[in-house]
Structure 1
Amino acid sequence: MKNLTLILLSLFTWQTLIAQPPPDHQWVEVIVSPNNSDWLYEIGEEAEFTVTVLKRNVPLENATIKYSIGPEKMAATIENEVVLNYGAIKISGGTMKTPGFLRCYVSTEVDGKTYSGWATAGFEPEKIKATVQKPVNFNIFWNEALAENAKLPLDTKMTLLPERCTEKVNVYHVSLQNWKRGARLYGILCVPKAEGKYPAVLKVPGAGIRPYYGDVQFAEDGVISFEIGIHGISVIMPQQNYDDLLAGWNNQYWNNNVNDKDAFFYKRVYMGVVRANDFITALPQWDGKNLGVMGGSQGGSLSLVTAGLDKRVTAASPIHPAMCDMTGYLEGRAGGWPHYLADTTKWSRASHPDVLETIGYYDAVNFARQIRVPVLFSFGFNDTTCPPTSVYAAYNSVTSPKETFLAVESSHWIFPEQYEKQRAWMMKQLKK
C-alpha cells in the first residue's frame, strides 16, 4: 500500500510539473493546418494553410478571423481579416527564400472571448546554420572553471527516504558541494537494491523551482537515476517554499548577471551538471561505462551542455531545448529562450557587448558542436518558447549520430509519446 501510494503521488506530481497538451476540446477551437502533412516545404515552395473554427466540434459559420503570417517570432509579412462563410478557409502563406520557419497565427472572438491557433511551416530546416559564435578560448574558460570546482571536496551527504523506496529500489536525498565552499547541489538518487553494476542517467530540470521525486522506474529497470535541481536548495520541501522563492529573491533567475560571464547564474549550473556526474561515476554500483543525460526545455539545453562538457556522457536526449542560438534575433530570425535579444531596439552587438560575450560562453549550440555521442532530439514546430529555428541550429551543429522525433504541432508541451520515445531510446543506448 505504501508503494502504491508513492507511485500514485509521483505520477500526480509528474503530470502537474510537465507542460501538457491543451484539452482535446475547448469551447471554441481554432485549427490551422498546413497543406503538407509533414509541415515541411522546399525553399521557394508555396505554403497554404487551412483554417477551421469549431464550436462543439461543428464548424462555426460566419466567424470573423484575423490572421498574420511571417517568420516565427518576427514581424508579420501578411495580415488580414476575413469571414468564414462555411466554417473554413484556405490561406496562401507565401514562401521563404532561406531556410527557416513560417508561422500562420489566427484568432477569432466569440461571445467576447478570444481564441487562437497557429501552424508553422518548415522550409528546409536541416540547412539552418547557427548564428552564435564560439569564443576562441571557450574550452579554456570551461576547463579552468571545472578544474577550480573540482578542487572542492564533494562532501556527499545521502539521506535514505524510506517512504519512497520500493522492494527493488533505494531512494536517497543527496547533496554535494558545488560552485564554492559551503554551496550545495541537491538531487534524488534512485539505485537498484540488488548487487551488481548498472548504467546510469542524469536527469536535468526544466526552468523553475520545484521539488523532485526521482525516477524510480529507471532503477526498477536496472538503470541508476539521479534527478537534480539547480538552485542550491533542498528538493524535498513543500511546493509553497519553492513558489515563495521564485516570487522573491530568485524571480527570473536566468537574468542574474547575464552581463558578466564569470558571475552569470548558469556558471554554477553548468559546473553542477558535471559535479553530478562526478557523484554518479563514483558510485560503486555504476557500471563504469554507460552514462546518459536527458531533460526538457531548460533541461534540454542542459542535456546538450552536459554532453558537450563531459566526455563521460555516452548518450544525450533533449526535448525542445532552450538557450539555443540566442543571437538569432540579431540576424533577423528567432533565437532561443530566454530571448535576451528579442527586442532589437534595446539590444544590439554595439549596445551590449558584455551580454553578447556571456551568451557566447553559455549558448547550448557551442556545446552541441562538441558532442561526440548519439543524440535524440524531440521538439515541435509550433513552439513559441523554444522556437524550432533555434533548435535546428543546435541539431544541425551536432556531428555525431543523431535523430529527431518530431511532434510538429507541439507548442512547448510534451506528448506522452515523446516521453516514451525518449525513455526507450535512452534505455537502448545504456544497455548496449
Structure 2
Amino acid sequence: MSKLKILFLVFLIMASVSARKAQESIGNYQIRVAPDRDDWTYELNQPVKFNVSVTLNNRQVSGLPINYSCGLEAMPPRMERTATTSEQSLTIEAGSLSEPGFLRCVVTMKKDGRSYRGLATAGFRPDLIKPTTKTPVDFDKFWTDGRAELAKLPIDAKFEPLPTYSTANVDVYQVNFQNVGRQSDTPSRIYGILAIPKVTRPNQKFPAVLNVPGAGVRPYKGFLTLAEKGIITLQIGIHGIPVTLDQTVYDNLAAGALKRYMFDGLDDKNDYYYRRVFLGCLRANDFLANLPQFDGVNLAVMGGSQGGALSIMTAALDSRVKSLAVWVPALSDLTGEIYGRAGGWHRVFKDSKNRTPEKIETTQYYDTVNFARRLKVPGIYTFGYNDETCPPTSMFAAYNSVTAPKKLILALEIGHALTNEQSARINDWVESFLKNEKK
C-alpha cells in the first residue's frame, strides 16, 4: 500500500474519532409507575405494590434521587418518601384500602434543571363506590319548570353557510337559536356548528347527534367524523357567543369574564351559570328535531368532561334521546371532599370556605350523579384510573348510579384525555346504534 493511501486512511480514522468526540447524545428521562396487578384493580384490604422504573433511552438508570408519595387520589398523601434508583425497578409497598376507592402513587424527580413525574392509580372495588351527593325532593320539578320556561320561547333558528368548513359530502353551517337567559325576561342564544350530510336520493333522512363541549372557551369546527358517515351532527358552544371568531376573542374571555364561569351564581340554583347551559342543550335537541333532514327518531348525545356531564343530563331529561356516549364525565359527585374523598370537577368543595348550605344545595340540582340515576337509554362510557381532573372515584360514583344498559371501556393509564382508540370505539358504537345495528 502506498504512503499516500496510508496517510489517507489515517486521516479518515482521526476524522471519525474527532466526530464521535464532538457528537452529543441527548435523551428523555421517563418515570414509569404501575401497580402489581395487570388490571390495576384490587379487593378491599388487599395490599398493592407499585413498581417504579426510571429510564433514559429505554434503559434503566441507577443513582438518581426520586421522591414518591402514596395516598387516596386527589387527597393529601399518607406516605412520602425518598429513594435512589438502581439497575432494578423500585418496589413501593403502598398498603391498601378498606373502603372502595383509589390509591395513587406519584413519583417525581429533578435532573439537569428539569422536572419529571409519573403516577399510577390502583382501584379497590370501584364497582362498589357509592355517591355522596343527595337528590333534592323537588329535583324533577325544578327541571320540569325549566323546560316549561324554555318551551315558551320560539326556537328562532338562524343559519350561516360555512363553505370553507364544508366537504364534498357534508354541508356545514354556523347556527344559533334562542335559549333562556339568567333570571331575566331577556333570552340568550346558543351557537354551534351544524353538519348535514348531502342528500344522495329523494326524501333521504338522517339520524342525528348532539355533540356537547368540554369546559373552556373556544371556537369550533364541527363534528364531521360522523357527518361523513351519514349522521347529522350539531356541535355547540355554551357561552352564548359565535363559535367562529378569532382565537384571541376566546382567549380574552377565558382569562377575563368567563375565567371562573363554573362557579358563577353557585349560591342560587335559579341563577347558577349552568342552568342556562343545561336548558340550552335541551333547546339544541329542539333545533335538531325540527330539521327537515332529521329522520325523527334516531337521536344521540355525546361529549367528554363537562360534555360528559351535559350528555348524561340531556339524555336523562329528554326522552327523544335514544343513546349516549360519555368520556371522563365531570360534575360528578361534587360533594366528595366534604366526606373525605375526591369530588368531581370543578372540585368546588376542595376549599372548605365553599361548603355553605347554599352552594351544597345548588350543586345537588346539577350533579351528574342525580341525572345518571334517571337514565333510561343505553350508553357507552370510557375513562381511566389516572385522571387527575375528573377523579375516577367521582366518575365511578356516577357510572355506578346508572341502571340503564351500559358499557364501560376502561383505559387504565389514561389521564384526562381521549385516545384515538377510545374515540374510534365510541364513534363506531354511536354509528352502529343510530343505524339500528345494535338495537
Q: How is 1:2-401 mapped onto 2 (pairs within 5 angstroms)?
A: 27-86=28-87, 88-180=89-181, 181-194=186-199, 195-344=203-352, 346-348=353-355, 352-401=356-405
In the alignment, the residues of structure 1 paired with residue 198 and residue 386 of structure 2 have an alpha-carbon distance, to the nearest angstrom, of: 43
In the alignment, the residues of structure 2 paired with residue 184 and residue 243 of structure 1 have an alpha-carbon distance, to the nearest angstrom, of: 20
AA paired with 1:114? S
In the alignment, the residues of structure 1 paired with residue 429 and residue 269 of structure 2 have an alpha-carbon distance, to the nearest angstrom, of: 35
2:421 match:
417
In the alignment, the residues of structure 1 paired with residue 48 and residue 27 of structure 2 have an alpha-carbon distance, to the nearest angstrom, of: 27
In the alignment, the residues of structure 2 paired with residue 136 and residue 279 of structure 1 have an alpha-carbon distance, to the nearest angstrom, of: 31
Decide whether the 8 Å contact of 1:53 with 1:87 is kept in 2.
Answer: no
2:432 match:
428
Please, what is the CA RMSD of the aligned residues?
1.3
AA paired with 1:35? D
Decide whether the 8 Å contact of 1:315 with 1:373 is kept in 2.
Answer: yes
CA-to-aligned-CA distance 1:74-112 (integer Å, 9 cap, x gap): 121222111112252111111110111000111111123
In the alignment, the residues of structure 2 paired with residue 196 and residue 362 of structure 1 have an alpha-carbon distance, to the nearest angstrom, of: 38
Decide whether the 8 Å contact of 1:324 with 1:390 is kept in 2.
Answer: yes
In the alignment, the residues of structure 1 paired with residue 432 and residue 127 of structure 2 have an alpha-carbon distance, to the nearest angstrom, of: 26
- Quick check: which has more Rg, 1 or 2? 2
Alpha-carbon deviation of 1:428? 1.4
Name the SS for the 1:306 alignment partner.
helix
Decide whether the 8 Å contact of 1:54 with 1:87 is kept in 2.
Answer: no
Decide whether the 8 Å contact of 1:63 with 1:87 is kept in 2.
Answer: no
In the alignment, the residues of structure 1 paired with residue 134 and residue 142 of structure 2 have an alpha-carbon distance, to the nearest angstrom, of: 15
In the alignment, the residues of structure 2 paired with residue 132 and residue 260 of structure 1 have an alpha-carbon distance, to the nearest angstrom, of: 17
AA paired with 1:146? R
TM-score (norm 1): 0.91
In the alignment, the residues of structure 2 paired with residue 422 and residue 151 of structure 1 have an alpha-carbon distance, to the nearest angstrom, of: 35
In the alignment, the residues of structure 1 paired with residue 351 and residue 388 of structure 2 have an alpha-carbon distance, to the nearest angstrom, of: 15
In the alignment, the residues of structure 2 paired with residue 103 and residue 198 of structure 1 have an alpha-carbon distance, to the nearest angstrom, of: 45
In the alignment, the residues of structure 2 paired with residue 159 and residue 373 of structure 1 have an alpha-carbon distance, to the nearest angstrom, of: 33
Name the SS for the 1:162 alignment partner.
coil
Following TM superposition, the consecutive aligned residue runs of length 4 or more in structure 1 with deviations greater than 4 angstroms are: none
CA-to-aligned-CA distance 1:177-236 (integer Å, 9 cap, x gap): 101344210001111221411110000001111111112232221111000000000011
In the alignment, the residues of structure 2 paired with residue 321 and residue 182 of structure 1 have an alpha-carbon distance, to the nearest angstrom, of: 28
AA paired with 2:384? G
Decide whether the 8 Å contact of 1:323 with 1:363 is kept in 2.
Answer: yes
User: Residue 268 and residue 26 in structure 1: after superposition, are their counterparts in 2 closer, same or farther (change >3 A)?
Assistant: farther
Decide whether the 8 Å contact of 1:62 with 1:87 is kept in 2.
Answer: no
Name the SS for the 2:403 alignment partner.
coil
Q: What residue ranges of structure 2 are gaps of 5+ in the alignment?
A: 1-25
Name the SS for the 2:349 alignment partner.
coil
CA-to-aligned-CA distance 1:34-79 (integer Å, 9 cap, x gap): 1111111111111110001112222110111111111101121222
Name the SS for the 1:175 alignment partner.
strand
Q: What residue ranges of structure 1 are gaps of 5+ in the alignment?
A: 1-24
In the alignment, the residues of structure 2 paired with residue 365 and residue 404 of structure 1 have an alpha-carbon distance, to the nearest angstrom, of: 16
AA paired with 1:236? T
Name the SS for the 1:266 alignment partner.
helix
AA paired with 2:387? D
Q: Percent identity of the aligned residues?
A: 47
In the alignment, the residues of structure 1 paired with residue 316 and residue 79 of structure 2 have an alpha-carbon distance, to the nearest angstrom, of: 40
In the alignment, the residues of structure 1 paired with residue 78 and residue 271 of structure 2 have an alpha-carbon distance, to the nearest angstrom, of: 40
1:16 match:
none
Name the SS for the 1:50 alignment partner.
strand
Decide whether the 8 Å contact of 1:295 with 1:317 is kept in 2.
Answer: yes
In the alignment, the residues of structure 1 paired with residue 27 and residue 316 of structure 2 have an alpha-carbon distance, to the nearest angstrom, of: 42
Name the SS for the 2:119 alignment partner.
strand
Bigger mean CA offset, 207-216 vs 352-361: 207-216
In the alignment, the residues of structure 2 paired with residue 220 and residue 82 of structure 1 have an alpha-carbon distance, to the nearest angstrom, of: 53
In the alignment, the residues of structure 2 paired with residue 166 and residue 115 of structure 1 have an alpha-carbon distance, to the nearest angstrom, of: 43
TM-score (norm 2): 0.90
AA paired with 1:412? H
Name the SS for the 1:201 alignment partner.
strand
Bigger mean CA offset, 194-203 vs 268-277: 194-203
CA-to-aligned-CA distance 1:153-181 (integer Å, 9 cap, x gap): 11110111122222221111100010134
